[in-house]
Structure 1
Amino acid sequence: MEAFSERHARVLFCMLIFPLLFFALSACGPKTLPAPSAAVQNEIKSPSVYPLAVHPQWYQTLRSEKNILRGVGEGPSQAEADAMALSAISREMQVQVSSEIRTRTTQQGDSVSRRVAAEVHLKAGRQMQRARRTQHAVLQGVHYVAMEVDIRPDADILAGRMRKIWASEGLAMPAHLRFDGTKALTSGPLARRLKSLLSSPHGEGERVLPLSLERKDGLWIISLCRESLALAEVKGLFDFSVYASGKSRLFMESPSGKRLPNRLRHGEQVVFRMDDLPSSGWFSLFNLYPDGRVSVMEDNLAAGPGSLRVPEQAWDFFTNAILEQGVAQLDTYIAVFTREPLELVRFRHLGDVEGLVSGEGSYGAHRLAAFLEALPPGSRVSLLEVETR
């Protein structure tokens, strides 16, 4: 849900449609694709123009697996060899993309075929960004490379890499695993999955691993020790409820004062309310989008004690907006009440012109986690997850 006030109602549709398109389609999470067919596996390599006698041994034997697509390439430079290997993987992935589109369209109906196709192609594009070079050799002036793309869920990829590292170092699985990082990240769904994959009741002792998230080159980078993985969104990474505190609760009402559920319709008008504020202080409201953008909806609004309505003016309200009917969209709203004003320059504010936040600087989910972790004593935090259809 992109929240914007009524004063943004005149925003041109063309200014909203492209960010919302990416946002709505990016809600599709990782999924294991069908195993490649034998015919596709046999076409993993492009025809060689060099004598077979000079090829590395692995060049002729590499094959894709159920969840790992592999390709090889050759050329007078490493860049050309890389391009050939990626092209081979891309052809193989396209076969799987077509298969998944047919399967999902059959299950969900032809009425959503365009959206399904866009989602599957977008997911495949993200997976291709994970391509890694696993082999490189130079024989008689020719570069030979092997590359692979792992299409497993994020936690499974990281856990698999860590198990290989531990095996190479002669380390057994630990009985208990803890993570060093922000609480929202180390308590989130991905961290919980990692714990289940990297610890065992029959393991040895306890192990502490650093877990972090950063934004780099337009992608989210999740890092577990020395292993990193590129992500397109932060869905399934954080659990911001660990910062919830105090009796104050954030909820929604209609402009007329009727209490609203956490599932709304596209175009529905809402106001936010936080009750049981203990004393006079300052109120700020954040909107966290699934792709990791963060907007400041209210910045250090004088509040308390008692109940606070946002927006304050009786005639003002917010309007829920999604790209298309039938496509659920999830937003997380985080209300913060403090005794002193907060410094919020690190976050983008909800614009009076655009009605939403944009630009690389708006991707601040990791900064929001660190910000909430460092709130002064006595602060109150309340969260509200809202699904809009």
Structure 2
Amino acid sequence: MGSLLEMMFVLLGSAILTVQGIKLDIEHKRATMLVLEGQNEATLVTAFQGWITDNFGTILTQYAASGNNPTVTPPTIPQLVTAGNLKQAHKNGPYWGGSYVTTMTMVPSGCTQSAGNCRVAFTMYPTAQLLKGGKADVAGAAQIAQAGSKLAGTSQFGYSNAQNPAQIVGINGSFTAANPLGSKAASIMATNGPDTDGSSVYIRRDGSLTWTGDQDVNNVSLRNVNDIKTQTLEASGAVTAASVTAAGAVAAATMTATGAIKGNSVTSTTTLQAGNIASPRVACAPNGITASNSDGSGQQLTCQYGIWLPTGGRLQRMGYYPVNNGSTVPRPTCPAGGTAIVELAPLSWYVDTSATVNYNATDYGTYWYITITDGGGAGIPASGAAGTYCTY
């Protein structure tokens, strides 16, 4: 008899533990479902906000065309997928039934496209409150909001409680808004701000909003920039550009341009390096531009009357030497396109009765041999000056 009674107690205890284990397992699975629901809603919220950022310029134009009607038509979830804003796995509605409702409104009231003060206020919420055993599950709604905010990275999820069911309060009190479901506790809502656009602090990808203050990019690089227009450009290091056009000052330690540098005034405290792109007597435009000789000699050429010529004229003096009969004068090295010549100028001489004086320079490749002779071809005491040139 005792053994039978003991067995009954053992079976009863086992049954109680089994029921308790089932309850704990159900609660654990439900908690997991709540977290997954919050993560699913956060995924959708991120996609909607990405769509707003990508299409803000179009939204703003439609808003102006509508006569500043603040209602904005949001995309559907399938449209988010098609647009590429929603690539993650997702559900189109909450696990307890119903669907998600999305609203978008241009704020603040009376904003205009020209003033650049418009924002898109966004909300998303399930069409049904969260219930447990037929009653509002406020604790479960809080879990969903917490999970959503954690994944989204901000406290933009909120829920309504039993004390004030007509109001949605954001996690950590981040916002308050009217409950879109009316006076129902355990309602859940996500927003970027009921009256403002929470993403308005960011630079818009489509360039639809202008900056309102100075920007500090913390010494990081800006790459693939197509065009920079500025009142003043200052650089402590190198400025490298295909083209620089300035109405005012451009100050840089080093400036390298593969295209044009244009300015009312260009001042260098060190050097200016022109590209080795010009060849003498080759056509050019416009007149007045400057370049270096393409042979790399460093000779400066200027576009004169439509052709490249040395700065200073077609005849470039390279040297000056005193000479007499039998002197040698070194031939100058001319940059590409130039021809070396020598010019003799008499200074004094003595001649016999032939009364003839001849100044001649014979070309020996690397030098000229100077002769000063009388009419019979004999050298005479005389002096002169030899100027060497490069002619173009």
State the TM-score, normalized to the length of structure 1: 0.17
Give the helix-richer structure, 1 or 2.
1
Work out which of the two has the higher radius of gyration on C-alpha atoms and give 1 or 2. 2
Higher relative contact order structure (alpha carbons within 8 Å, sequence separation ≥ 6) = 1
State the TM-score, normalized to the length of structure 2: 0.17
